[in-house]
Amino acid sequence: MANETPTAQLQRYAIEITLDDLEVHKASILLDERQDGEPVTRITLLVNDPGPGKDTWNFDAVRDLKRQLARKATELDLPSTSVTLVPDSQAKLVESFAQ
């Protein structure tokens, strides 16, 4: 997809990721600034809820997901990344803040 912007490429890349019990359903990418003025790529991911009886996802899967996204952002010449995971069950709550 040569005509895609780097943020669109990162978004497409993110929604193709599945690790352990962690599956990305949607991704939002925003180029922003940190409080100190440094550029940042903010990545918000809508993911499946943790498995039955679990409060959160597998630590290694979350770490690997963040590493893969950081590597891809670097490859695309995007600023450092900040990743937020939103479970499916919280999607409506998060959408209410966007209005």
Predicted local confidence at residue 97, as pLDDT? 55
Going by C-beta distance under 8 Å and a sequence separation of 6 or more, which residues neighbour residue 92?
none
Q: Name the architecture of domain 6-98.
A: 2-Layer Sandwich (3.30)
Other Cβ atoms within 10 Å of 82 Cβ, number: 16
Distance between CA atoms of residues 33 and 40, nearest Å: 5
What's the pTM value of the predicted model, to 2 decimals?
Answer: 0.86
- Domain boundaries in the chain? 6-98
CA 62 from chain centre, in angstroms, equals 10
Each residue's pLDDT tens digit in the chain (99 positions)?
A: 558 899 999 999 999 998 888 999 999 999 999 999 999 999 999 999 998 888 889 899 999 999 999 999 999 999 999 999 999 988 776 665 554
Please report the DSSP string for 16-33 in residue order: T-EETTEEEEEEEEEEEE
